[in-house]
Amino acid sequence: MLVLAPRPHRGLRRVLKALDQAATFRISLMSAGARTSSDSSDGTARPSVAVRRPSLGILIAVTALGPMALNIFIPSMPGMVAVFGTDYGTIQLTLTLYLFGVAIAQLFMGPLSDRFGRRPVLLAGIGLFLLGSLGAALAQSIETLIAARIVQAVGGCAGLVLGRAIVRDTHGREESASMIGYITMAMVVAPMLSPLLGGYLDHWFGWRSTFFTVLAVGAVVLGLAWLLLHETHHDRSISNGPLAMLQGFPILLRNAAFTGYVLNVSFTTAVFFAFLAGAPYIMVEIMDRPTNEYGLYFMFMATSYMAGNFLSGRLSTRIGADRMILTGSLLALASVGLLAGVALTTEMTPLLLFAPVMLGGLGNGLSLPSATASAISIRPDLAGTASGLTGFLQMMVGALATLLVGRLQDDTVFPMVAVMTSGAIIAFLGYGLARATLASRAAAAASPAAD
């Protein structure tokens, strides 16, 4: 006798059908993922596997943690001299070593995420950030505070590196430039506003409250990242072992297109850092203006940079990353040219000092997101390593620019202008190197097809 199996409930049949379709779709994605890559028209590779895209809000949150923690306690620093019974130079180490911690840790966060995935490394980094924040809040000596700040910096840099890498995992080059533009804008806002919050907290609750606030914000971000961020990197091509994980560095540095884009990113940043190093001395010491007036003018310059970031976010997908880099680099050259012309022909005033640099800030805001996205798009399988290496070189070249301005500083604007001009020229040449390399590769790839 034929026994008929009971028919599934209609709702269950729908669920089973949906699961079957999902499985079929996933198999098709995996098959497509095996065919990656560098088949884009501009020579940069596209993401190999379709992954779930995180929201822009959570990427901004994880990226802004480090910059927020950098500046929030600056208003408390003068009072901490008496608290710890030390000198101001020692207190400044909590800022200086934080910057070095961020720079150096970027070299390792990227390769670790390429090997183990973005999500676990990011969550571990935020956890380390929380540990450093708690240590800083409870510190009873300046040595403990400095050590806690270094731990905080290492953990906080995970968001800086992996925010960019996650964007590249889930978006093409132009879309990455757009997303990074918005993220960079938030990175500028965070260190600008955090001292205001820090000053209020220090006034009403004491300096420890700033670190407890950072701890609370970090805990919220960790919870959101745990719930909302999914793994975006599935192409684990890096072998096991600490040395093997670093093999991406020489691979990337031998790539002339990557090197060109990184030169653009690093020396565009150097122009900005050189101005930061020289402008306060010029305005306060040479022009004899009050420090609060410098702060007001600086806000205008920062606003122009954010405007460039905003326009980059809006326009990158429409006109392309390369046009954004070219436009921004040309504006930077025009900016330093105007500044040099003013310095050579007339007496410098605050308005004449800042107006040309506002034009350069707009240009930097336009070019940096696209140049960064282009650098980490060269090898999507090494996006984490590329992001970390780009960030490291960007910060190191910027730091060297500030050091050079400080060494050369006299009673004129010319040392600062010379360093800024050199940086703008090298940044433009770096972009030219990248474009020439990609054009040569595209021509070489097209010639066999023509034959």
* pLDDT at position 189: 76
- According to the model, what pLDDT value does residue 200 have? 87
Domains defined for the chain, CATH in brackets: 58-231 (1.20.1250.20), 249-445 (1.20.1250.20)
The predicted model scores a pTM of 0.72
Q: What pLDDT does residue 237 have?
A: 56
- Identify the pLDDT of residue 5: 39
pLDDT at 28: 38
The pLDDT of residue 125 is: 97
Q: Are 356 and 340 in contact (CB under 8 A)?
A: no
Residue pLDDT tens, the chain, 451 long: 333 434 444 544 454 344 344 433 333 333 333 333 444 444 455 554 556 678 888 999 999 999 899 878 878 888 888 899 998 888 888 887 888 888 899 888 888 888 888 899 999 999 999 999 999 999 999 999 999 999 999 999 999 889 888 988 888 777 887 888 888 777 777 877 787 888 889 889 999 999 999 999 999 999 999 999 888 877 655 544 555 556 788 999 999 999 999 999 999 999 988 888 788 888 878 888 886 687 778 778 888 988 998 898 888 888 888 999 999 999 999 999 999 999 999 888 999 999 999 999 999 999 998 999 899 888 887 888 888 899 899 888 888 888 888 888 888 899 999 999 999 999 999 999 999 999 998 888 877 655 5
